[in-house]
Chains A and B, each alone.
Chain A
Amino acid sequence: MITDNKNSTISRDNEVVESVVIRFVGDSGDGMQLTGTQFSDTSAMFGNDIATFPNYPSEIRAPQGSLYGVSGFQVHIGQKDIATPGDDVDVLVAMNPAGLKTNLFALKPGQMLIVDSDSFTKKNLEKAQYETNPLEDGSLDNYKVIQVAMTTHTKEAVKELGLDNKSILRSKNMFALGMVYFIFDRSMDHTIEFFEKKFKKKPAVVEANTKVLKAGFFYAETLELISTTYQVAPAKMEKGMYRMLNGNTATAWGLLAAQQNSGLELFLGSYPITPATDILHELVKHRYFGIKTFQAEDEIAGITSSIGAAFAGDLAITTTSGPGLALKGEAIGLAMMIELPLVIINVQRGGPSTGLPTKTEQSDLMQALYGRNGESPVIVIAASTPSNAFDYAYEACKLALEHMTPVILLTDGYIANGSAPWKIKKAADMPPISNHLVKEGTTEYRPYERDEKTLARKWAIPGMKGLEHRVGGLEKDKDSGNVSHVPMNHEYQTNIRAEKINRVQDYIPQVKAEYNEEGDLLVVGWGGTYGSLSTTVKEMSDAGYKVGHLHFNYINPLPKNTADILGKFKKIIVCELNKGQMVKVLKMNFTQFEYLQFNKVQGLPFTTIELTDKFKQLI
Chain B
Amino acid sequence: MENTAIKYTFKDFQSDQEVRWCPGCDDYVILRSIQKALPEINKKKEDVVFISGIGCSSRFPYYMDTYGMHTIHGRAAAIATGAKLANPDLSVWVASGDGDSMAIGGNHFIHVLRRNVDLNYILFNNEIYGLTKGQFSPTSLLGQKTKTSPYGNTQPPFNPGELAIGSSARFFARLGGNVPKEMTKVFIEAEKFKGTSLVEILQNCVIFNDGCFTKYTDKTVKEDQQVHLEHGKPMIFGKEKNKGLVLNGLKLEVVTIGENGVSEADILVHDAKEPDSTLHMMLVKLDYPLATGVIRSVEEPTFGERERELVERVTTNSQFKTVDDLYCSGETYEVK
Contact between B326 and A242, CB atoms less than 8 A apart: no
1/0 per residue, CB under 8 A from B, across A512-531: the answer is 00000000000000000000
A467 touches B86 (CB 8 A): no
Chain A nearest CB from B316 CB (Å) reads 8
Query: When the two chains form the complex, which single residue of B46, B81, B334 contacts A242, counting CB atoms closer than 8 Å?
Result: B334
Q: Do residues A304 and B310 form an inter-chain contact, with CB atoms below 8 A?
A: no
Interface residues of B in 47-106 (CB under 8 A from A): 47-49, 51, 54, 61-62, 64-72, 75, 78-87, 89-90
Q: Is B327 an interface residue (CB 8 A)?
A: yes
Asked if B323 and A300 make an inter-chain contact with CB atoms under 8 angstroms apart, the answer reads: no
Asked whether, in the complex, the Cβ of B324 is within 8 Å of the Cβ of A426, the reply is yes
**A487 contacts partner chain B, Cβ-Cβ < 8 Å:** no
A-side contacts of B44, CB under 8 Å: 465
Contact B335 A257 (CB under 8 A): no
Q: Which residue of A lies closest to B332 (CB)?
A: A243
Q: Is B2 an interface residue (CB 8 A)?
A: no
Q: How far is the CA of A306 from the CA of B111 in the complex (A)?
A: 16
**CB-based contact A305/B333 at 8 Å:** no
Contact check, A239 vs B335: say whether CB atoms are below 8 A apart: yes
Interface pair A334/B83, CB less than 8 Å apart:
no
- Inter-chain contact A308/B82, CB cutoff 8 Å: yes
Q: In this assembly, does A412 line the interface, its C-beta being within 8 Å of a C-beta of chain B?
A: no
Min CB–CB distance B307 → chain A (angstroms): 7
Determine if B327 and A474 form an interchain contact, defined as CB atoms under 8 angstroms apart: no
Instruction: Tell me which residues across on chain A come within 8 A of B54, comparing CB atoms.
Output: 473
CB-defined contacts of B330 to chain A, threshold 8 Å: 243
Nearest residue in B to A473 (C-beta to C-beta)?
Answer: B72
The residues in B between 1 and 55 inclusive whose CB is less than 8 angstroms from any CB of A are: 15, 17, 44-49, 51, 54
Residues of chain B with a CB closer than 8 A to A473's CB: 54, 70-72
A463 interfacial contact with B, CB 8 Å: yes
Q: Judging by beta carbons under 8 Å apart, are B90 and A462 in contact?
A: yes
- B127 → chain A closest CB, angstroms: 25
Query: Given A240-B335, A260-B323, A334-B72, are A287 and B85 also a contact pair (CB < 8 Å)?
Result: no
How many chain-B residues does the 8 Å CB contact rule pick out? 58
Q: Chain B nearest CB: distance from A254 CB in Å?
A: 10
Contact across chains for B322 and A463 when beta carbons are under 8 A apart? no
Residue of B with least CB distance to A193: B331
Question: A275–B324 Cα gap in the complex (Å)?
Answer: 26
Q: Does B333 contact A242, Cβ atoms closer than 8 Å?
A: yes
User: Cβ of B83 and Cβ of A308 under 8 Å apart?
Assistant: yes
A433-473 near B? 1/0 per residue, CB < 8 Å: 00000000000000000000000000001111111111111
Decide if B315 is an interface residue (CB 8 Å cutoff): yes
Q: Scan residues 296-318 of chain B and give those whose CB is less than 8 A from a CB of chain A.
A: 307, 310-311, 314-315, 317-318
| Cβ contact within 8 Å between B326 and A244 | no
Flag if B72 contacts A298 (CB, 8 Å).
no
Q: Check if A312 sits within 8 Å of B90, measured CB to CB.
A: yes
Q: Is the CB of A311 within 8 A of B69?
A: yes
- The residue in chain A whose Cβ has the minimal distance to the Cβ of B336 is A239
Enumerate chain B residues within 8 angstroms of A425, measured Cβ to Cβ.
327
Q: Which of A253, A305, A467, A483 counts the most chain B CB atoms within 10 A?
A: A305
**Residues of the B chain whose Cβ atoms lie less than 8 Å from the Cβ of A300:** 75, 78, 107-108
Q: Are B69 and A468 in contact (CB under 8 A)?
A: no
Are A297 and B83 in contact (CB-based, < 8 A)? no
Determine whether the beta carbon of A468 is less than 8 Å from that of B45.
yes
Minimum distance in angstroms from A48 CB to a CB of chain B = 10
In the bound complex, what is the Cα–Cα distance between A473 and B48 (angstroms)? 20
Task: Please indicate the chain B residues that have their CB under 8 angstroms from the CB of A243 in the complex.
Answer: 327, 330-333
A240 — which chain B residues lie within 8 A by C-beta?
334-335
Report how many residues on chain A are interfacial, defined by Cβ distance under 8 Å.
Answer: 72
- Does B331 contact A41, Cβ atoms closer than 8 Å? yes
Q: Is the CB of B51 within 8 A of A308?
A: yes
By beta carbon, the residue of chain B nearest A255 is B323
Would you call A289 and B75 a contact (CB within 8 A)? no
In chain A, residues 259-274, which have Cβ atoms closer than 8 Å to a Cβ of chain B?
259-260, 265, 267, 269
B323 to chain A: which residues have CB within 8 Å?
A: 253, 256-257, 259-260, 289, 427
Which of A47, A234, A298, A470 makes the CB contact (< 8 A) with B69? A470
User: Complex: how many Å from CA A240 to CA B307?
Assistant: 38
Query: Contact at A316–B82, with CB atoms within 8 Å?
Result: yes
Nearest-neighbor residue (CB-CB) of A290 within chain B: B311
Determine if B288 is an interface residue (Cβ-Cβ < 8 Å).
Answer: no
Contacts of A474 in B (CB 8 A): 70
Determine which residue in B17, B45, B79 has the highest number of CB atoms from chain A within 10 A of its CB, and name it. B79
Most chain A beta-carbon neighbours within 10 Å: one of B80, B108, B315, B333: B333
Q: Do A242 and B70 form a contact, CB below 8 Å, given A253-B326, A288-B320, A463-B89?
A: no
- Please determine whether B334 and A241 come into contact, CB atoms closer than 8 angstroms: yes
Q: Is B250's beta carbon under 8 Å from chain A?
A: no
A288 surroundings in chain B (CB, below 8 A): 311, 314-315, 317-318, 320
> Which residue of chain B has the shortest Cβ distance to A483 in the bound complex?
B62
A470 to B335, CA, bound (A): 54
B79 touches A424 (CB 8 A): no
Q: B20 — nearest CB in chain A belongs to which residue?
A: A483
CB proximity of A84 to chain B, nearest CB, Å: 20
A241 touches which of B17, B71, B78, B332 (Cβ 8 Å): B332
The answer to whether A307 and B17 have CB atoms under 8 Å apart is: no
Question: Is B265 engaged at the interface, CB distance under 8 Å to the other chain?
Answer: no
Residue of B15, B17, B317, B335 contacting most chain A CB atoms (<10 Å): B335
Contacts A465-B46, A483-B62 given; does A306 touch B335 at CB 8 Å: no
Quick one: given A239-B336, A298-B107, are A472 and B86 in contact (CB under 8 Å)? no
Give every chain B residue within 8 A of A313 (Cβ-Cβ). Answer: 86-87
Q: Is the CB of B69 within 8 A of A286?
A: no
**A334 and chain B: residue at smallest CB distance:** B72
Given contacts A243-B333, A462-B46, A470-B68, contact A311 B318 (CB under 8 A): no
- Closest Cβ–Cβ distance, residue B327 to chain A (whole Å): 5
B69-A244 in contact (CB<8A): no
Identify which of A286, A292, A461 contacts B320 (C-beta below 8 A).
Answer: A286
* Interchain CA distance A44-B111 in the complex, whole Å: 45
Given contacts A260-B323, A300-B78, A462-B49, contact A314 B72 (CB under 8 A): no
Instruction: Determine whether the beta carbon of A287 is less than 8 Å from that of B311.
Output: yes
In the complex, what residues of A have CB within 8 A of residue B81's CB?
Answer: 294, 301, 305, 308
- Within the assembled complex, what's the spacing in Å between the Cα atoms of A300 and B73? 11
Known contacts A257-B323, A297-B107, A472-B70: A467-B85 contact under CB 8 Å = no
Judge if A562 is at the interface, Cβ distance under 8 Å.
Answer: no
| Residue of chain B at shortest CB distance from A390 | B327
Q: How near does chain A come to B276, taking the closest CB pair, in angstroms? A: 26
Give Cα A304 to B77, complex, Å: 9
Residue numbers in A under 8 Å from B71 (CB-CB)? 304, 307, 334, 472-473
Identify which of A237, A242, A289, A309 contacts B332 (C-beta below 8 A): A242
Asked if B15 contacts A470 (CB within 8 A), the reply is yes
Q: Is the CB of B327 within 8 A of A426?
A: yes
Residues on A with C-beta less than 8 A from B320 are 286, 288-289
How distant is A593 from chain B, measured CB to nearest CB, in Å?
40
Contact of A292 among B48, B66, B86, B336 (CB under 8 A): B86
B82 contact set on A, CB distance < 8 A: 267, 269, 294, 304-312, 316
Report if A338 contacts B (CB, 8 A): yes
Would B70 and A462 count as touching, CB distance under 8 A?
no
A468 to B84, CA, bound (A): 17
Is there a chain B Cβ closer than 8 Å to A541's Cβ?
no
How far is it, in angstroms, between the C-alpha of A297 and the C-alpha of B87 when the chains are bound? 20
A117: interface (CB < 8 Å): no
Residue of A nearest to B63 (CB): A470
Contact of A294 among B51, B85, B90, B322 (CB under 8 A): B85
**Contact among B65, B83, B333 with A462 in the assembled complex (CB-CB below 8 Å):** B83
Question: Considering the complex of A and B, which 4 residue pairs feature the smallest CB-CB distances, nearest first?
Answer: A308-B82, A472-B70, A305-B82, A288-B318
A-B contact pairs, 30 of them (CB 8 A): A234-B335, A238-B335, A241-B335, A243-B331, A243-B332, A244-B331, A256-B326, A257-B323, A288-B318, A290-B315, A294-B85, A296-B111, A301-B107, A307-B71, A307-B82, A308-B82, A311-B49, A312-B84, A313-B86, A314-B86, A316-B82, A424-B332, A426-B324, A427-B323, A469-B68, A470-B64, A470-B67, A470-B69, A471-B68, A473-B72
